[in-house]
Structures are given as structure tokens and as C-alpha cells.
Amino acid sequence: MTKVIDGKAFAANVRAQVAAHVARLREEQGIQPGLAVVLVGEDPASQVYVRNKHASTIEVGMASFEHRLSADTREADLLALIAALNADPKVHGILVQLPLPKHLNSDLVINAIDPAKDVDGFHISNVGLLGTGQKSMVPCTPLGCLMMLRDHHGSLAGLNAVVVGRSNIVGKPMAQLLLGDSCTVTIAHSRTKDLAEVCKRADILVAAVGRPEMITGDMVKPGATVIDVGINRIERDGKAKLVGDVHYESAAKVAGAITPVPGGVGPMTIACLLANTLTACCRANSLPEPE
């Protein structure tokens, strides 16, 4: 029987734990963790993400600071806002919603965030800390994947993991986390030869490609755990539909466990953002971190 990994339920549990910790912080220390989200422009998908982040932040008892800037915002003005948020003691986490409009340099903007408040884990210091196995802020999507994998497998040591996709926000940090848990890691990408054969060796297969239903059942090792990071909006039979990078029907027949889309990795990303904000708040106040 294939196990469907219920990311929605898992995320609800993480959010409940964060909420309980936040309530204790407020009661015992008089501290309220705060998350600032900066959205530049009117990208429809980004607007939905930002709305969801705001609602989830409030729901767990944190303060939410939303900054919506017009698409033609000057880089200097955005950097000035980030400097103000860096200096604001009520703000423990800062997230700049990507992608930014083309005239803004994303690397420059992300690296202007105080690494201690970089709850997305994209600042070059956090990337370096993760790569060298030191305490860092870990990118939310791969962190959510790792939590579900640990929950399903217990120890990941010695398992063959294949990550399809090498982006800075998903593929590369995912591979680092799996390596940190002693998997034997392969990173595949658009230039990989015989992708099907590479995928078929995986005990853990993570798809972060951005191509609807590209990973099919014949590419999956029997009994493997398949984590589908992809979020693709497609139209089928005249209706809008959300699908992953994995062809669910065929892969679920072969896999031992699989995450669905929607309801898999997606909800875990926001839950991990809240968990990271709580961690940042605890570190800023020299308090014990959540486990």
C-alpha cells in the first residue's frame, strides 16, 4: 500500500506547536515574535502567497507587518525599507517575496537582510552556514520536505536521494539537508543524461523542476519515497488545475510513499516559515530554541 504523506495535517501540527510556543513566550517573557513580508508589484501568485502568510502569521499569535510596494519601486527605497526592518526590534523575521520586478537586483536585496532575520534562508551567510553544517536559517520548502522525510523514515542515513532541480531556493538546499542527514545525494538538472535511470536509483526522489507531471511512474524505484515540490497551474478539460512535477497517478502505483499536490509540500512551506520566525525570535532574545 502506498502511503500518502499528508502535508496539510503535518503542517497543521507544526503550526499548533509554534502557536503554543508563541503563547508561552508572550505569557512568560512578554515577547511577541514578528514577521515582516515585503511584496513589490502585483504578481497574482505572489499576492496569494503573501495573503496566506499574513493569515497564518496572525493565526499562530505572531505580529504580521505587511509592506506592499508598487512595481516601479526604486532599489534604494526597497533597501531603505529593509534597513529599517533590520533595525526594528519588533521584527524578528523578514521575507521579501520573490520574484522581484526585473529592474531590482534580487541578490543585492536578499543580502541586505540581516542574516539573523533572514527567515527564508536565502542570504549568502545562511547558504554558507548550511553548506558547512553550521547553525543557520534553513530555506522553508526544503526544511518542510526534510521534516516529512524524517517523520516517515526515521533515520535517512545511507539512503540514495535524488533531487531533480538545482535552484538556489529548493534543489541545492534540499541536497545539502539530505547530505547533512547522511543520504547519498545526486542532484539532477536539465543537462542530466538519462534522467529516468538516475531517478530509478532513488530511495528518496525529490522533484523540484517546475514542469507539470514530468516525473512519471516508470522513473520511480518500487517502494521509493517521492516528494513533489512542484506547483504548476494547468488547464485540463477546460478547468484550471494545480498539479505537481510528478505524475501522481502513475508514480503512486510504484512509490512506497508520496506527497500529493495540493496538500503535500505547499502547506509545510508556510508552517516552516513560522517555525523559522519563532527560532529567529528565540535567538534574538537568547532564549532556548524550539526543537
Task: Between 51 and 189, name the residue whose CB sits nearer to ligand NDP.
Answer: 189
Write each residue from 138 to 167 as x if it is in contact with ligand NDP (CB under 6 A), else as -, in one continuous string: ---x----------------------xxxx
Q: How many residues lie near ligand NDP (CB under 6 A)?
A: 26
Residue 8 C-beta: closest distance to ligand NDP, Å: 12
Catalytic site includes residue 151: no
Binding residue per annotation — 169?
no
* Nearest in space to 130 (alpha carbons), one of 176, 95, 167: 176
What is the spatial distance between Cα 228 and Cα 167, in angstroms, rounded to a whole number? 15
Phi-psi region for residue 130, left (φ > 0), alpha (ψ -120 to 50) or beta?
alpha
Contact status, residue 136 vs residue 116, Cβ threshold 8 Å: no
Which among 17, 47, 114, 120 is annotated as catalytic? 120
Catalytic site includes residue 253: no
Which among 53, 117, 172, 221 is annotated as catalytic? 53
Q: Are strands 93-96 and 63-69 parallel, antiparallel or unpaired?
A: unpaired
Catalytic site includes residue 193: no
Among 211, 263, 283, 290, binds ligand NDP (CB under 6 A): 211
Binding residue per annotation — 231?
yes
* Nearest in space to 289 (alpha carbons), one of 140, 14, 280: 280
Binding residue per annotation — 125?
no
Binding residue per annotation — 166?
yes
Residue whose C-alpha cell reads 508572550 in the numeric block: 26
Among 33, 115, 142, 266, binds ligand NDP (CB under 6 A): 266
Site for ligand NDP contains 233 (CB under 6 A)? no
Among 25, 35, 112, 188, binds ligand NDP (CB under 6 A): 188
**DSSP output for 174-185:** HHHHHHHTT-EE
Phi, psi of 272 (to 5 degrees): -70, -30
Q: What angle is formed at CA 182 by the lines to CA 169 and CA 253, rounded to 5 degrees? A: 75
Give me the active site residues, please: 53, 97, 120
Residue ranges for the known binding site for NADP(+) are 165-167, 231
Q: Under the rule (CB under 6 A), what is the footprint of ligand NDP?
A: 141, 164-167, 169-171, 188-192, 195, 208-211, 229-232, 245, 265-266, 269
